[in-house]
A and B are shown apart, each in its own frame.
Chain A
Amino acid sequence: MSEIPSELKYSKEHEWIRLDDEGKVTIGITDHAQELLGDMVYIELPEVNDTVASGDETGVVESVKAASDIYAPISGKIIEVNEELADAPENVNSEPYESGWLYKMTLGDEADLDDLLTADEYAELISDE
């Protein structure tokens, strides 16, 4: 059974979203997603300062089995990417919610958060798969 921290928000594309006190948003892929994909070999991240809309492609996670697109779960500007993943993509497997984070964004519109899933809703989504 994969881990689904209750304090995070989730997207249907298996991303997690953490909102901090300063209104910044950190994004990663869920434990369930990394289990499905298998061992990560390469993470392609967006460019800092790119402005993206919810649903835009922001990168690619490539495992030994497959390469999957990652999408912006909210609209806003990319403010930081996890440079360490260039040399340690396996962090996405070992700590998907900690050192395996992908990138950070500004929150353009708080209403975007309402479209995201709660931990319970996400748990239900993946149990239906």
Chain B
Amino acid sequence: MPFIPHSEIDLKQMLDTVGVASVDDLFDEIPDNLRAKGLDNVPKALSEMELGRLMNERAKQDEGNLCFIGAGAYEHHIPAAVWDIAMRGEFLTAYTPYQAEASQGTLQVIYEFQTNIVNLTGLFAANASLYDGASGVAEAVLMAVRANRKAKTRRVLIAGTVHPRYRQTTKSIVQSQNIEMIEIPYDSETGVIDMDILSQYEDDTYAAVIIQQPDFFGNLEQVDALTDWAHAHNSLLIAVVNPLSLAIYSAPSEWGEKGADIAVGDGQPLGVPLSSGGPYYGFMACTKPLIRQMPGRIIGKTVDLDGKPGYTLTLQAREQHIRRAKATSNICTNQGLAVTASTIHMALLGTEGLERVAAASLGNTEKLVQKLTSIEGVELVFTGPRFHEAVLRLNKPVDEVLAALAEQNILGGLSLKRQYPELGEAMLVCATEMRSHDDIEQYFQVLSHILSSEPQS
């Protein structure tokens, strides 16, 4: 298909033909308050050559660093076979193809992906993926507000320990549908949601309660009690989960008496490289009663006229090409390639492999915490049970310390000063199965040196 841009003359002819004065007039049915007001922060377009150079420079920034940052994106080992297979021509597309049923192999991969997500979350059905974890939470909110008709409200509770970017993204997406997000503050001693604080919310109704396990700080929330509280107050429970953690912790379907209603998260830990922040993919699973409110494509397994197994797009009546403005699904499978890699990754590791990666990451983070807190001026902020991340507080300005570490090619952690200033000079650290004893020793040596030296400025 050739790329033929429209000339001014083409545009004028087309506008004259349909009888409108300008391109903007074609969009006049969109109310003013729903329009994005300009894109002032988008820089000028670059040429292909300039762009190539910029991307190479950016890519170099990631090279040769020892990474102790998690915070939603994790450096895990990806077997070489994963992307070698995923990059084969037969798989190499981001979307479910048009004439989907003609591409049985692609559909089978997505079906297997859905099956894996169902096995990890324990829920009834999973979709073929979403853009990422953050937009997944937003989609879960929209879905819960549609589905929870008994609550008769557009208010949703979200734990302050849910990833800050996920909270921001969700707010941005759902606010134009008049959905109000109310944040539950976390307990400053434990870094999790304290059950006692929930009594403040008992007089109101909420369509859903959103909690993250492990939470943004790496801590384990009291998911059973929180899930039961949500259900006792006629709210749906949305679980934001790291899929890798589900290899060793209880599945959302097992939380509390009835289990979570919707589980979402970012699939990056399962075979998707950090690559400077993306593309990753989101996943979503839900209980049987909610399935027709679930957005995204769903691949089903069936048999053809001869009784042979086949794969097909199913439940399409929810989707925008059929239900138009009333659709409960306005999202496609843009992240198909990352999903393909992830499916291969899960198949190669298997249940046991995932368990070992999760356990090794947990163990390495404990080693890291023990080692670093042995340095004078480093303390562990939250001491409860956790997965593979921890919050450490320093006796020096954290941003300066992290900059000094970066000069020694150590990405020492994520500063929490902007998102959680009340924690002081705090950072979030993580050591996955990739971080060896020597890596942790090196971090220890460099940090000891930085914290013992006098400030330069």
A residues touching B (Cβ–Cβ < 8 Å)? 41-42, 44, 47, 60, 62-63, 66-67, 69
Among A41, A62, A63, A66, the one with the most B-chain Cβ atoms within 10 Å of its Cβ is: A62
Among B150, B292, B317, B323, the one with the most A-chain Cβ atoms within 10 Å of its Cβ is: B317
| 9 interchain residue pairs of minimum CB distance | A67-B317, A62-B317, A67-B323, A47-B149, A42-B292, A67-B322, A66-B322, A66-B317, A47-B150
CB distance from A49 to the nearest CB of B (A): 10
Given contacts A42-B292, A44-B292, are A67 and B149 in contact (CB under 8 A)? no
- B292: chain A residues at CB < 8 Å are 42, 44, 62
The reply to whether the CB of B437 lies closer than 8 angstroms to some CB of chain A is no
CB distance from A4 to the nearest CB of B (A): 27
Chain A contact surface mostly? strand
- A42: chain B residues at CB < 8 Å are 292, 317
The reply to whether the CB of B326 lies closer than 8 angstroms to some CB of chain A is yes
- A66: chain B residues at CB < 8 Å are 317, 322
In the bound complex, do residue B317 and residue A41 qualify as a contact, i.e. CB atoms below 8 Å apart? yes
* Bound CA–CA A41/B318 (angstroms): 12
B residues touching A (Cβ–Cβ < 8 Å)? 149-150, 292, 317-318, 322-323, 326
Given contacts A42-B292, A47-B149, are A69 and B326 in contact (CB under 8 A)? yes
CB distance from B315 to the nearest CB of A (A): 9
* Bound CA–CA A60/B324 (angstroms): 14
Chain B contact surface mostly? helix
* Bound CA–CA A36/B317 (angstroms): 16
CB distance from A92 to the nearest CB of B (A): 15
CB distance from A128 to the nearest CB of B (A): 25
Closest to B152 in A: A47
- A60: chain B residues at CB < 8 Å are 326
Closest to A64 in B: B317
4 further interface pairs, Cβ-Cβ under 8 Å (given A62-B292, A66-B317): A41-B317, A47-B149, A62-B317, A67-B326
* Bound CA–CA A67/B318 (angstroms): 8
Closest to B150 in A: A47
* Bound CA–CA A65/B186 (angstroms): 48
* Bound CA–CA A66/B318 (angstroms): 9
Subset of 18 A-B contacts with CB under 8 Å? A41-B317, A42-B292, A42-B317, A44-B292, A47-B149, A47-B150, A60-B326, A62-B292, A62-B317, A63-B317, A66-B317, A66-B322, A67-B317, A67-B318, A67-B322, A67-B323, A67-B326, A69-B326
- B149: chain A residues at CB < 8 Å are 47
Among A44, A60, A69, the one with the most B-chain Cβ atoms within 10 Å of its Cβ is: A60
Closest to A50 in B: B149
- A62: chain B residues at CB < 8 Å are 292, 317
CB distance from A5 to the nearest CB of B (A): 29
* Bound CA–CA A47/B150 (angstroms): 8
CB distance from B272 to the nearest CB of A (A): 34
Closest to B324 in A: A67
* Bound CA–CA A63/B317 (angstroms): 8
CB distance from A119 to the nearest CB of B (A): 30
* Bound CA–CA A66/B317 (angstroms): 6
* Bound CA–CA A13/B323 (angstroms): 17
CB distance from B215 to the nearest CB of A (A): 34
CB distance from A111 to the nearest CB of B (A): 29
Among A42, A63, A67, the one with the most B-chain Cβ atoms within 10 Å of its Cβ is: A67
- A69: chain B residues at CB < 8 Å are 326
- B322: chain A residues at CB < 8 Å are 66-67
* Bound CA–CA A42/B318 (angstroms): 11
Closest to B291 in A: A42
- B326: chain A residues at CB < 8 Å are 60, 67, 69
CB distance from B295 to the nearest CB of A (A): 15
* Bound CA–CA A18/B60 (angstroms): 73
- B150: chain A residues at CB < 8 Å are 47
- A41: chain B residues at CB < 8 Å are 317
- B318: chain A residues at CB < 8 Å are 67
* Bound CA–CA A60/B326 (angstroms): 10
* Bound CA–CA A60/B322 (angstroms): 13
* Bound CA–CA A41/B300 (angstroms): 15
CB distance from B316 to the nearest CB of A (A): 10
Closest to B323 in A: A67
Closest to B292 in A: A42
* Bound CA–CA A63/B323 (angstroms): 12
* Bound CA–CA A44/B323 (angstroms): 14
